[in-house]
Amino acid sequence: MKKVAILTSGGDAPGMNAAIRAATKIGLARDMEMIGIEHGYQGLLAGALVPLSTADVADIIHLGGTVLGSARSTEFRERAGRDQARRVLTQHGIEGLLVIGGNGSLAGAAALTAPDEVGADFQTAVIGLPASIDNDVGLTMYAIGVDTAVNTIMEACDKVSDTASAHERTFIVEVMGRDSGYLAMSSGIAAAADAVLFRESGKSHDEIVSAVTDIIIRSRDRPRGRSRRVLIIKAEGLGIPTVKLKSELDAELRKRLGDEVGGSFESRVLVLGHLVRGGSPTASDRMRASRLANVAMRALIAGHTRLMAAWNPGGPIPPEIGFRSTDDPLCTLVKLEAVAAETAKLLDGSSPTTKRRARMFEEIADVLAL
Ligand code: F6P
């Protein structure tokens, strides 16, 4: 393999640069030509290919975002767009492509190499790397960016807790994650939230409003000071707009306690939004991104395609799903189709992983509530 391209696609995630750096250095050390594709599949369609040198990746491991730029491409979702992408890769003699991104980007990698779409002239091998703060990519325990995002949320919650404590107030903090509650659950434990609201718990709208109202009222039984702050972390995928939840909680408190006392509990809202996607990646994300890039590059060199390098420290991998990396015992290489199938189950709640995460969280939450 002599010429390998890298693209980052979809929502950027901290650690993407660490993956670009590691892959580029591994390729250059083997005298490969390394190419960066700017702005994901959109840039691929436009032929936005740039050479990557050691200098280009020398000082990027600590940077959030992606130095290659990213995009969500609607054109690439169509067959005609993918035909164009295959033409560009072939014209430029790209023998291997690393796709660094979340579930949409990895589904794109599968479609790009789908046997029913690919002609004999298309020879580019494609390996994916999971990178998405949402941790909603199937068959990998962690995606690149998750650890940094959890830390960012935890720090924001610690800070907002200062003012919440001073005023004995309730804050509803909305965190990203699309349809996945992973970020909310993990940061909820790390920031010692009083309640964490996420879609996978299966609780109804009314149950949520009633349970959170109980928690807020009971907070006044605690000693005055820091312990009276109420921190509610809400996943964006919950299905109740955060401002609506706030007004319903405020109304329920007034209904139960009267205008004067109930009104004194009025909550505040903090939507963290895209802030959660930014920032310098944690050591854990830099390390994971570098190791996954190593496994992915070595897979390309060994002649593999249509796989994703995944972080899977333990357990056997059924051969129909993939195999354990011989280069890094904590990583596996899993088939892109299997990733797509498991991702769908993660999101519709039928995956054992989703059930395990929600169950484990509920058990921990029960203990925390004591
Ligand atoms: O998938 C990453 C993510 O940040 C989600 O958590 C969020 O729902 C979405 O992307 C936001 O997308 P955009 O950056 O296009 O607004």
Residues paired with residue 4 on neighbouring β-strands, in sequence order: 34, 96
* Alpha carbon of 128 to ligand 1 centroid (Å): 19
Q: Pick from 228, 210, 180: which is nearest to 357 by CA?
A: 180
> What is d(CA 173, CA 135) in angstroms, rounded to the nearest whole number?
19
Residues 263 and 198 in one domain: yes
On whether the CB atoms of residues 13 and 102 are closer than 8 A, the answer is yes
> What is d(CA 242, CA 310) in angstroms, rounded to the nearest whole number?
34
Residues 93 and 225 in one domain: no
Q: Quickly list H helices, the chain.
A: 16-29, 40-46, 54-57, 79-91, 103-112, 146-167, 182-190, 205-218, 242-263, 283-301, 336-348, 352-369
Measured from the Cα of 136, ligand 1's closest atom is 1
* Alpha carbon of 336 to ligand 1 centroid (Å): 22
Total-model pTM: 0.96
134 catalytically annotated: yes
Ligand 1 atom 9: the closest Cα is on which residue? 178
Residue 368: per-residue pLDDT: 66
Residue 370: per-residue pLDDT: 41
Three-state secondary-structure class, residue 47: coil
Ligand 1 atom 14: the closest Cα is on which residue? 11
> What is d(CA 89, CA 49) in angstroms, rounded to the nearest whole number?
10
* Alpha carbon of 119 to ligand 1 centroid (Å): 34
We report the CATH number of the domain holding residue 241 as 3.40.50.460
Residues 250 and 300 in one domain: no
Ligand 1 atom 4: the closest Cα is on which residue? 11
Range of the domain at 24: 3-145+281-348
Quick one: tokens of 105? 């980007």
Measured from the Cα of 176, ligand 1's closest atom is 6
Ligand 1 atom 7: the closest Cα is on which residue? 178
* Alpha carbon of 171 to ligand 1 centroid (Å): 22
Mean pLDDT by runs of 10 across the 370 residues of the chain is 97 98 98 98 98 98 98 96 98 98 98 95 97 98 98 98 95 97 95 94 93 94 87 96 97 96 94 98 98 98 98 92 96 98 94 90 72
On whether the CB atoms of residues 94 and 122 are closer than 8 A, the answer is no
The CB of 132 under 6 Å from ligand 1? The reply is yes
Point out the catalytic residue in the list 12, 59, 134, 259: 134
Residues 340 and 300 in one domain: yes
Residues 105 and 193 in one domain: no
Residue 203: per-residue pLDDT: 92
